Amino acid sequence: MSETVPQSLDGLVVSDQSGFFRVEMADGTSVVCRLRGRLLEAARSSDIAAIGDRVQIQLLPDGTGSIEAVYPRQSALSRALRTEGKRGAGDSEREQIIIANADQAFFVFAATQPAPNLRMLDRFLVAGEKSGIGKLTIVVNKIDLEDNSMVKAQFSVYEKLGYPVLYTSARHQLGVAELQAALKGHLSVFTGPSGVGKTSLLNAVQPGLGRTVKAVSQRRAEGQHTTRDSVLIRLDMGGHLADTPGMRSLTLWDIEPEELDGYFRELAPLVKQCKFNDCGHGAESGCAVGAALHTGVVTTSRYQSYRALRAELEAAYALY
């Protein structure tokens, strides 16, 4: 009697909890999988498999699966995560993939309650530029609670830099149709700080979506060693959306201080014009960034964000 050959299939990772991955097949069914042994070693310094990854799995007799291979990523939105124990291999930081292979990211902030933290938005945009995600969009929610002219003036600098800005109100359905059109057929991620109304906005995009995401996240958070609270949901209109919990911080991953200027859209073209190759864009003579700051080509707020992030990275790299 011949031995049955395990079936291999391709799928999409839609959730990850403590080393258990739910992989969605093309027909919408899903299989709970674990990494094959040889992949576990590589998972110590970074997430070998994460939500959004395209993987090859092998079906096992008990109905579960084994992830045999992870296909190359087109993009990866990451952050540095402090860990302890075996998964972090004793290191103080490791890479956590927020989402792999997203083709667009929506950074959701509120017009008020809470007031938008533009320094934090700049941090998200740097991570987005680093990620390789093709389209980065800023969503400003709760515009019904603030003077629209003031809100749009505050975010106009980002529109001038080429970032699309969507102004929304989940309560009054403002901007929801535009958001639905932008999400259709894409693999997208919603992320931002707490309290900006992401759940209400998700419910406006698709009835029950925010509640579904929240319920799944809460169930998964019951495990003591949950590695990620994000979950990838199939949209009725087509495509998938990952919603991340409100982030209180986002530590940049794998960006050296000297390359940070390349992730600021207005600074990158100026770098070659600086007098010195190692210009830190501080008080150096012949600094093109400093000159652009004085003429208003570079805004003070964005420049201050750059300087604060660079100081943070310099302090981190000084430890190694």
Q: Residue 313 is which amino acid?
A: L
- Helices and strands per DSSP (H, E), number in the chain: 8, 13
User: Beta strands of the chain (E only): which ranges?
Assistant: 8-17, 20-24, 30-35, 54-59, 65-70, 76-81, 94-100, 104-110, 135-141, 165-167, 186-191, 231-234, 239-243
- What is the rounded (10 degree) CA torsion for 173, 174, 180, 181? 140
Sign of the alpha-carbon dihedral angle for 262, 264, 270, 274: negative
Q: pLDDT tens digits, the chain, 320 residues: what are they?
A: 455 556 789 999 999 888 899 999 999 899 999 998 778 766 666 788 999 999 999 999 999 999 999 999 999 999 987 655 444 344 557 888 999 999 999 999 999 999 999 999 999 999 999 999 999 999 999 999 999 999 999 999 999 999 999 999 999 999 999 999 999 999 999 999 988 998 889 999 998 887 555 544 444 443 333 334 578 999 999 999 998 877 777 899 999 999 999 999 999 999 999 998 889 898 788 999 999 999 999 999 999 999 999 999 998 876 55
Coil, helix or strand at residue 198: helix
Domains of the chain (ranges plus CATH)?
A: 95-243 (3.40.50.300), 257-317 (1.10.40.50)
- What is the rounded (10 degree) CA torsion for 77, 83, 87, 89? 110
Coil, helix or strand at residue 195: coil
Q: How far apart are CA 291 and CA 297, in angstroms?
A: 9
Burial class from Cβ neighbours inside 10 Å (0-12, 13-18, 19+) for residue 3 reads exposed
